[in-house]
Chain A
Amino acid sequence: MTNTLRRYLRPQQIRELSLLLLIIVVLIFFSTQIENYLSPRFFNRIASDVAIIAVVAVGETLVVLTRNVDLSVGSIVGVTAYFMGTYLGNNKDLNPALAVGMAIGLGAALGVINGALVAYGRVPAIITTLGTLAIYRAALVELSGAKTVVIDAMPKWVQDLPSQTFVSFGGLDVRPLMLTALIVVVLFQLVLSFTQFGRRLYAIGSNPEGARFAGLPTERVVFAAFVLCGALSGLGGFMFLARFGNITVVAAQGMELQVIAAVVVGGVNIFGGTGTMFGALLGAILINILQQSLIRMPQISQFWINALLGVLILAAVATDALILSRLRQLWARTSVQMTEGQAKRIASGK
């Protein structure tokens, strides 16, 4: 019994369950503070906002799992949203699938630059992406001539996309953006759990040297993680365009901080090797609920959100380093040494 429990309730799952619990506590707290807090409208708004962050966070998770970080995602989202907006404004009859594909391709191309510099140029990820964060944004500002993309110039299908409803459960709508995010999260969770590529991400993140000595193509895997992160940021950029419609050159500026916050709060270790896509999704949901709820609390300044994000990230990193790593060691040790009987005795407290 305890062994089965142990098998299915590993530290990572405990981490994610406690995050789920925290989300519920936060929801209960705010519903006592704000009238009509839990409404279908609130759900729909959070779902659309979380969708964008979640898609980018999935990409960021791939990179963070390999013990790297991508700070340029906000700029990639901004660049793709802006350029796809401009392009669609000029070519209204572009095939929707092709448009989404172009956004993903543009993001992937920017990811290729990051990945090549980190994996093959051996420039640390933090340096590379701090640089490309500035470069991509500067390129956007220079090439755009500071013009703004407006929603009215978009083809009809883009304008309708965010509010289209597939199914509705008592006002809780299932919309395209949310559905896309769910598909991306599930798909990449499957990739992480069941493919060679996914397992390699974990292996490289837990021990880069070891992975190299074991003969894994670490460079190629890290490169691929950055390219995928860029591609998903490109998809996120397209979703950003559909959601907001009006895009300026500062679109999605600073989004990287929210994304990294979501990933780290979601239990993806900033030092690589552990974490899941569901965790990242939960992190994104928690952060977004806090953000949207603070706006609706008149007695507290909404500007507290960033300070709160910082505290959350620090708390997440600290629990990972100080508590979870010990828990993991304990799990590893006990599962090797203990027989089932011993484990039972400990569990029953004798």
Chain B
Amino acid sequence: MTRISERFKSWEGLLLVLLVAVVAFNIIESPVYLGGQNFVNLFQLSIEKIMVALVMTFIIINGEIDLSVASMMGLSACVLATLWRLGQPMVLCILVALIVGLIGGAFNGFWISMAGLPSLAVTLATLIMYRGLALVLLEDKSIGQFPQWFNDLGQKALFGPLPLALVIFFVGFILALVILQYSGFGRYVYVIGNNRDVARYSGVRVQRVKMSIFIASGFIAALAGIFLAARLGAVRGSTAEGFELDIITMVLLGGVSIFGGTGTLFGVLLSILLVLNLRNGMGLLNISGNAQTGVIGALLILSVLVPNLAARVQAEWNRRRAASQPPAAVKQAVSAE
């Protein structure tokens, strides 16, 4: 147990070192980096992804995955835009988009927790399904010209220098931290992720916990989709396509095990900062968005590969040390001869 916690301490330490290196690079490359406004911009450009990353942390620690979040973001944005074009008041559009998120999350949750299907297959299907519905709504059109106050939600600073989405992220982070690391529900999330059967036999309501997390995931994804619509000022059928790559990368890079049961929100926060700063730095180097996505993909693989290799080297090291020091019984046998 202690060894695991030590490994994760050192994983977070590694992230911190990387983060310092990337930030140092950014500071050297760009004189405006240290300004408060740049800090806000840094978050602002990926704010929707990092919101969803918080709830994705719960899902992956729970031993599941939700590949449909980006499609859900797109679907909620498209629902909002379609209703707005039909002349509904914006507040109603937002409400309906959020409800769509709840329903979409519950739909995932039903098949995963009640029917017991693998989340990988279910959310791969709904990734296609929700994106398909978004395309049905908007076809190849683009809808914009939202009311000014709505666009301001995504673009303007509302609290001092901070836009609303950023405030929601920080409040959400603290909330998620309390729930995951200091509440009974959070313990259940870990226990189920560690061993689903043991959790069930110990009386944990596995189905209910899984259901609530997937509903939360759908809801947060829908909320993020609304903020994305507000920030971009226009919505298309392909809005938020491919965002799941960044989101899952942020969570796994933060030291959350893809097999469930381990990981902390602090690690995820560190990896969010790392990914944001890395994208910023690559932008400073004029690396195109496409190549940046490639780098994120490599980061995703490395975030699982490196701990795997480290564990194997450690095991090999232990084995050799054990082999070079024969156990006491063997020593006795040898000396008796």
Q: Does A15 contact B (CB under 8 A)?
A: no
Q: Does A132 contact B (CB under 8 A)?
A: yes
Give the CA-CA distance A133 to B248 in the complex, in Å: 14
Contact of B304 among A127, A134, A311 (CB under 8 A): A127
How many residues on chain B are close to A (CB under 8 Å)?
45
A264 contacts which chain B residues (CB < 8 A)?
A: 121
Within 8 A of A (CB), among B282-332: 288, 290-291, 293-298, 300-301, 304-305, 308-309
Q: Does A270 contact B (CB under 8 A)?
A: yes
Q: Does A190 contact B (CB under 8 A)?
A: no
**Contacts A124-B258, A318-B111, A318-B115 hold; do A313 and B128 have CB atoms under 8 A apart?**
yes
Q: Is the CB of A314 within 8 A of B126?
A: yes
A318 contacts which chain B residues (CB < 8 A)?
A: 111, 115, 117
Q: Does B16 contact A (CB under 8 A)?
A: no
Within 8 A of B (CB), among A280-329: 301, 303-311, 313-314, 317-318, 321-322
Contact of A117 among B121, B258, B305 (CB under 8 A): B305
Q: Does A69 contact B (CB under 8 A)?
A: yes
Q: Report the minimum CB–CB distance from B270 to chain A (whole Å).
A: 19
Q: Does A126 contact B (CB under 8 A)?
A: yes
A122 contacts which chain B residues (CB < 8 A)?
A: 308
Within 8 A of A (CB), among B234-249: 237, 242, 244-245, 248
Fill in one digit per residue for B108-131: 1 if any A CB lies within 8 Å of its CB, else 0: 000100011110111011111111
Contact of B297 among A69, A138, A305, A310 (CB under 8 A): A138
Contact of A132 among B115, B291, B297, B308 (CB under 8 A): B297
A137 contacts which chain B residues (CB < 8 A)?
A: 290, 293-294
How many A-B residue pairs have C-beta atoms within 8 angstroms? Tell me. 131
Q: Chain A contact residues: over half helix, strand or loop, or mixed? A: helix
Q: Report the minimum CB–CB distance from B131 to chain A (whole Å).
A: 6
Q: Report the minimum CB–CB distance from B217 to chain A (whole Å).
A: 17
Give the CA-CA distance A314 to B294 in the complex, in Å: 30
Q: Report the minimum CB–CB distance from B170 to chain A (whole Å).
A: 28
Known: A138-B294, A138-B297. 14 other contacts (CB 8 A): A117-B301, A121-B309, A130-B297, A131-B298, A134-B297, A134-B300, A138-B290, A139-B294, A309-B128, A309-B129, A310-B132, A314-B122, A317-B125, A322-B115
Residues of chain B having any CB pair with chain A under 8 Å: 65, 111, 115-118, 120-122, 124-133, 135-136, 139, 237, 242, 244-245, 248, 252, 258-259, 288, 290-291, 293-298, 300-301, 304-305, 308-309
